[in-house]
């Protein structure tokens, strides 16, 4: 619609549909969690004020100055709060300008500015949020938008025609039905458009302001002792894992590798700067090949926003697939997807089981890996006191060990059997002169996994076994509804890898397992509801938020196979019928389908017939006829009745047009005063339009 069609401003209270449109748009943007709380509070106050003053506006709401000042204030506020995230700034600006429009009670020629600002919030929210309720609020937004535009259009035409009283009687059941039907048609049309629309996978920021990635310091390139313990206090879900091929991992044997560290100074782990960063080449329809051999097990992982964009892997990963734009590996074989720190991503793994202490051969020999800087895996802190403690314990634990594998197992077993798991590690020395590991080894072996894993790395290196520390997740919990594994922040864990000649890096876990694994929650109603919510959220992300070009290609391939199968079936069908090899149920199924289509057609016709008889359409036709006459300079006076105006029209238009308008007037009067409907009003309007064009 052009602005020319809204020459007459519409007076009166703001339609409830407009308030609904604005509210749903703000809720959609608020779901992202990206906006400051005070912005949402301002919008809520504006909404509440609008509803309270909707019928009786204050004098200042009809003046331009407050809104001019407010507009300058919004612009200044956006400049002050801008932090480099343009999408969030656009969302804040749209929300605040919308609040001003809601409070503005001056007559309006159009509602498009309000709808445009609301649509801007919806678009920004679609990028920033992965909330499953997004679809529900979008449908409500569409409903409010269509109602607002339809109502304003009809009211504007009523004001144009000189009959402002009818402007507030257009909100009938017929208009509501038409709005609901239009919303449904819009949603149904959007589904195939969503499926076929070309898209580019870009990993936009879905994290919002509360992503929680700041709590994941255990996966940065420098980690102070105890940082992973902070993650364990976070119960939020960090990963969701589908087992695509192979057995579901036993909870005590389920590990997902994140960051690996090789240098420890007594208080902090870090990655040696000499380690090389290597990238991988993406192979279409496969992914990133890490090793030449293809693994026999597969998992799909949905990872929440994580510091540094760490890609968590399991066991000995050969292939990383999915929509990752790039993949890097550091010298300790930690994987990163650059620019995904603030994004929720999905990827797949193909792998083989990693050797562990239980599967390691008795006579296995530990050697340095083939790496120019491999001696970093034997580095020890420069602390004479700690070195003396380590040497004493190694001699005590591995004194009569017969092989490197035996030494490693004995160190692991010693820490497991003599240690006590606790979320309260030893207090740090105030002047940092004594390593906390010194206190842990000499004061009862009581702490959490970082202390156990760090101690084993140092003991193994003292025994000349090349070792490194690994931070990641272990355990997890099965979602009974979605049949996938949920890994929470409380599953954060540290363990050890030692390098052997034939086996490569072998996993050791010195933390007491029975105390490390958190207790499984009861499967009561609350747990079932939580599992249902988690499964719904994951389905929404995998099939809507993360729907990308790879998924489109998979759908095309599946469709091609279905068409091929149908073609083969059609080719073989005549021969099967001739041979009497009829498939049971084929004819009844086809018959049922035809009957269903016939019933749908009959029902649609009845609904259409009922629709065209609705009084709202007669009102609309008469109002549109008045608009046509107004363009010819013929307009009713406020004191004129419909019959009085008919006399004016008969004197100012051709006889044929006057006769048609007389029939429209009688239809209008019959509906308005006699509650009788006309089925010909639409045809009469078209006839009048054609005559006036001549």
User: Which residues are CB-neighbours of 356 under 8 A, at least 6 positions away?
Assistant: 253, 506, 507, 508, 509
At 227 the pLDDT is 74
Give strand pairing partners of 223.
269
Using CA atoms, how far apart are residues 248 and 299, in angstroms rounded to an integer? 10
- Side-chain-side CA neighbours of residue 140 (13 Å): 16
Give the DSSP letter of residue 652: H
Q: What is the pLDDT of residue 301?
A: 92
Helix, strand, coil percentages (3-state) for the chain, rounded to 5, are 55, 15, 35
Query: pTM (2 decimals)?
Result: 0.66
Q: Which sign, positive or negative, has the C-alpha torsion 97, 99, 102, 107?
A: negative
* C-alpha to C-alpha distance for 429 and 443, rounded to whole angstroms: 14
Residues 6+ apart with CB under 8 A from 684: 621, 660, 663, 664, 667
- Dump the DSSP string for 379-428: ---S-HHHHHHHHHHHHHHHTT--SHHHHHHHHHHHHHHH-EE-SSPPPP
pLDDT at 387: 92
Q: What is the DSSP string of 189-237?
A: HHHHHHHHS-----------TT--GGG-GGGSSEEETTHHHHHHT--SE
Extended beta strands in 290-375, E state? 297-303, 310-311, 316-322, 328-329, 335-336, 345-352
CA 250 → CA 285, 295, 478, 592, distances in Å? 30, 19, 10, 48
How many Å apart are CA 428 and CA 450, to the nearest integer?
14
Nearest CA among 321, 318, 227, 223 for reference residue 263: 223
Q: Which of 255, 243, 307 is nearest to 505 (CA)?
A: 255
The answer to whether 160 and 18 are in contact (CB under 8 A) is: no
Write down the pLDDT at residue 579.
Answer: 54
Residue pair 356/507 in contact by the 8 Å Cβ criterion: yes
DSSP 561: H
SS3 (DSSP) at 283: strand
449-462 helix and 404-418 helix, angle to the nearest 10 degrees: 150
Residue 544: half-sphere exposure toward Cβ, Cα within 13 Å: 17
Could you tell me which of 340, 354, 314 has the C-alpha nearest to residue 485?
A: 314
**Phi, then psi, of 240 in degrees rounded to 5:** -130, 130
- Residue 395 has φ and ψ, to the nearest 5°, of -65, -40
Dist CA 193 CA 596 (whole Å): 26
CA separation for the pair 134, 604 (Å, rounded): 30
Within 13 Å and on the Cβ side, how many CA atoms surround 550?
Answer: 18
Are 478 and 525 within 8 A, CB to CB? no
Per-block mean pLDDT, blocks of 10 residues, the chain (694 long): 50 77 87 84 88 83 87 89 84 89 81 85 82 82 81 70 60 73 79 64 45 55 78 82 89 90 91 71 76 81 87 89 83 87 86 88 92 91 91 92 93 92 72 81 87 95 96 89 88 94 94 66 71 80 69 68 75 57 52 69 59 49 82 79 84 86 82 63 82 80
DSSP 344: -
Structure tokens at 217: 């310091």
Using CA atoms, how far residue 591 sits from 170, 572, 594, in Å, is: 44, 21, 5
Note whether 238 and 488 are within 8 A (CB): yes
Tell me the DSSP string of 427-457.
PPPTTS-S-HHHHHHHTTSEE-HHHHHHHHH
pLDDT of residue 676: 60
Q: Is residue 459 left, alpha or beta, with left meaning phi > 0 and alpha meaning psi from -120 to 50? A: alpha
**Contacts by 163-169 with C-beta closer than 8 Å and gap 24+?**
163/623, 163/626, 163/636, 164/11, 164/638, 166/619, 166/623, 167/10, 167/12, 168/12, 169/619
- Contact predicate 454/228, CB 8 Å: no
Q: What is the layout of strands, in order, in the sheet containing 310-311?
A: 278-279, 328-329, 335-336, 310-311
Q: What's the pLDDT score for residue 588? A: 57
Q: What are phi and psi of 469, to 5 degrees?
A: -95, 140
Q: Coil, helix or strand for 672?
A: helix
Q: 399-403: long-range contacts (C-beta < 8 A, 24 or more apart)?
A: 403/362, 403/363, 403/364, 403/365
What is the rounded (10 degree) CA torsion for 667, 669, 673, 679? 10
**Strands 504-508 vs 492-500: parallel, antiparallel or unpaired:** antiparallel
In this structure, are residues 302 and 542 in contact, taking their beta carbons and an 8 Å threshold?
Answer: yes
Q: Provide φ and ψ at 412, rounded to 5°.
A: -60, -45
């Amino acid at each position: 619609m052009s602005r020319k069609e809204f020459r007459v401003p519409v007076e009166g209270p703001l339609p409830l549909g407009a308030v609904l449109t604005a509210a749903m748009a703000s809720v959609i943007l608020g779901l992202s969690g990206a906006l400051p709380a005070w912005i949402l509070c301002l919008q809520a106050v504006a909404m509440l004020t609008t509803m309270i003053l909707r019928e009786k506006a204050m004098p200042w709401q009809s003046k331009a100055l407050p809104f001019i000042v407010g507009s300058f204030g919004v612009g200044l506020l956006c400049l002050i709060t801008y932090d480099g995230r343009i999408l969030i700034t656009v969302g804040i600006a749209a929300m605040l300008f919308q609040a001003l429009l809601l409070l503005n009670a001056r007559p309006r020629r159009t509602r498009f500015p309000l709808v445009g600002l609301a649509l801007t919030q919806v678009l920004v929210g679609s990028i920033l949020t992965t909330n499953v309720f997004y679809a529900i609020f979008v449908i409500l937004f569409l409903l409010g938008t269509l109602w607002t535009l339809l109502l304003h259009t009809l009211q504007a035409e009523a004001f144009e025609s000189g009959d402002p009283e009818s402007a507030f009687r257009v909100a009938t059941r017929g208009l509501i039905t038409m709005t609901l039907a239009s919303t449904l048609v819009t949603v149904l049309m959007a589904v195939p458009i969503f499926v076929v629309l070309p898209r580019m996978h870009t990993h936009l920021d879905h994290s919002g302001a509360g992503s929680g990635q700041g709590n994941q310091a255990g996966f940065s390139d420098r980690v102070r002792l105890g940082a992973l313990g902070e993650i364990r206090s976070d119960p939020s879900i960090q990963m969701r894992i589908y087992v695509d091929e192979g057995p579901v991992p036993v909870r005590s044997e389920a590990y997902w590798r994140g960051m690996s560290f090789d240098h420890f100074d007594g208080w902090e782990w870090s990655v040696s700067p000499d380690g090389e960063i290597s990238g991988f080449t993406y192979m279409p329809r496969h992914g990133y090949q890490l090793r030449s051999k293809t693994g026999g097990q597969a998992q799909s992982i949905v990872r929440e926003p994580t510091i540094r964009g760490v890609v968590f892997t399991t066991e000995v990963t050969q292939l990383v697939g999915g929509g990752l734009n790039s993949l890097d590996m550091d010298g300790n074989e930690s994987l990163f997807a650059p620019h995904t720190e603030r994004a929720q991503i999905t990827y797949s793994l193909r792998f083989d089981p990693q050797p562990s202490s239980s599967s390691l051969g008795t006579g296995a020999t530990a050697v340095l890996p083939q790496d120019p800087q491999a001696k970093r895996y034997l580095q020890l802190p420069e602390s004479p006191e700690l070195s003396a403690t380590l040497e004493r314990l190694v001699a005590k634990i591995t004194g009569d060990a017969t092989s490197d594998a035996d030494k490693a197992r004995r160190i692991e077993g010693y820490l497991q059997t003599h240690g006590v798991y606790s979320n309260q590690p030893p207090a740090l020395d105030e002047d940092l002169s004594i390593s906390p590991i010194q206190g842990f080894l000499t004061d009862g072996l009581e702490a959490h996994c970082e202390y156990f894993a760090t101690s084993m790395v140092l003991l193994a290196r003292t025994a000349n076994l090349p070792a490194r520390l690994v931070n990641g997740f272990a355990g997890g919990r099965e979602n009974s509804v979605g049949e996938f594994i949920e890994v929470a922040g409380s599953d954060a864990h540290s363990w050890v890898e030692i390098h052997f000649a034939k086996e490569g890096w072998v996993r050791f876990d010195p933390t007491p397992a029975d105390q490390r694994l958190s207790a499984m929650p009861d499967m009561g109603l609350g747990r079932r509801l939580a599992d249902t919510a988690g499964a719904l959220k994951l389905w929404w992300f995998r099939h809507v938020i993360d729907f990308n070009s790879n998924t489109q290609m998979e759908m095309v391939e599946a469709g091609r196979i279905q068409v091929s199968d149908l073609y083969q079936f059609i080719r073989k069908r005549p021969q099967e019928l001739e041979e009497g090899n009829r498939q049971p149920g084929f004819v009844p199924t086809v018959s049922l389908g035809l009957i269903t289509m016939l019933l749908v057609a009959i029902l649609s016709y009845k609904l259409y017939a009922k629709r065209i008889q609705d009084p709202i359409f007669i009102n609309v036709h008469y109002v549109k006829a008045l608009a046509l006459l107004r363009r010819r300079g013929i307009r009713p006076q406020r004191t004129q009745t419909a019959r009085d105006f008919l006399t004016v029209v008969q004197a100012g238009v051709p006889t044929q047009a006057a006769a048609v308008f007389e029939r429209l007037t009688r239809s209008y009067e019959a509906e308005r005063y006699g509650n009788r409907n006309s089925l010909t009003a639409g045809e009469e309007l078209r006839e009048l339009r054609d005559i006036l064009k001549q």
